Amino acid sequence: MTDKEQYKKVFDKVASFGMEPLEVYRLMQKKRKHTYIHKAAAAAAAAALIVCSTGVAYAANVGGIQRTIQLWVHGDQTNAELVIEDGNYSYSVSYQEDGSAQTISGGGVAIEDDGTERPLTEEEIMTELYMPEVEYKEDGTVWVYYYNQKIDVTDSFEDGVCYVKLVNGDETRYLTIKYDDGYSVSSQKYPSPDSFN
């Protein structure tokens, strides 16, 4: 005989002290409903807490994606608070000599095959953030930055054009720079200097 059967046998013999079996059943039902109400109230409170905390995080970020990331800025790795919203991004870094922070922003739209515009995706923005950067310094030198690389390309210009091969692990980028007239990057070959006029 199991424990359940033994308890039933013992309590079947105990009188309900003048209560009809139907009354005992109703009391037990009320007790069960009370337990369900507590569980439902706890579930509602947990749902409200989740909704409120999500709303606060959304309000603090005005609907965009915000997170701390590590970026290579001018050849140095640094932490930055990146905010992405509607295909645009911004972040602040303090890489200047005086230690002051500078806000950098960018982004834009992509044009689909059918000619429609759409905001850049987060993946496209991250790809843009890790592209090589060209800087013209006040002393007349030209520098290329790519991940942890800082390359002075000032003396590499011939007829106003410079070609730089950049390698980071398995990733290779071919950079063509027209002095003071822009630059273009490709993963296949050096872009023609006439292609980005």
Domain boundaries, the chain: 3-61, 63-130, 132-197
Range in 4-18, 69-83, 105-119, 126-140 the model is least confident about: 4-18
Pick from 136, 162, 130: which is nearest to 149 by CA?
Answer: 130
Q: For residue 137, what are its two tokens?
A: 């310094």
Closest CA to 197 of 161, 172, 144, 146: 161
Q: Residue 129 phi/psi, 5° resolution? A: -65, -25
CA atoms within 13 Å, Cβ hemisphere of 95: 15
Cβ(39)–Cβ(46) below 8 Å: no
The identity of residue 184, as a single letter, is: S
Pairing of strands 182-186, 161-168: unpaired
Query: 18: which 2 tokens?
Result: 């003048």
pLDDT in tens, 116-153: 988 888 788 777 878 888 999 999 999 999 888 999 99
Closest CA to 185 of 123, 125, 107, 128: 128
Tokens of 81: 């608070």
Rounded Cα gap, residues 72 and 130, in angstroms: 8
Question: In terms of pLDDT, which residue wins out, 3 or 53?
Answer: 3
Amino acid at 41: A
- Which residue shows structure tokens 């997170």? 67
Does the pLDDT of residue 167 top 80, yes or no? Answer: yes
Query: pTM of the full predicted structure?
Result: 0.55
Beta carbons of 164 and 146 less than 8 angstroms apart:
no
Confidence band for 114, pLDDT divided at 50, 70 and 90: very high
- Ranked by mean pLDDT, which of 62-66, 113-117, 124-128 comes out on top? 113-117
Residue 52 pairs in a beta bridge with: none
pLDDT of residue 124: 81
Alpha-carbon span 91 to 97, nearest angstrom: 18
Those residues whose C-beta lies under 8 Å from the C-beta of residue 43, and which sit 6 or more positions away, are none
pLDDT of residue 10: 61
| Residue 93 identity (one-letter amino acid) | V
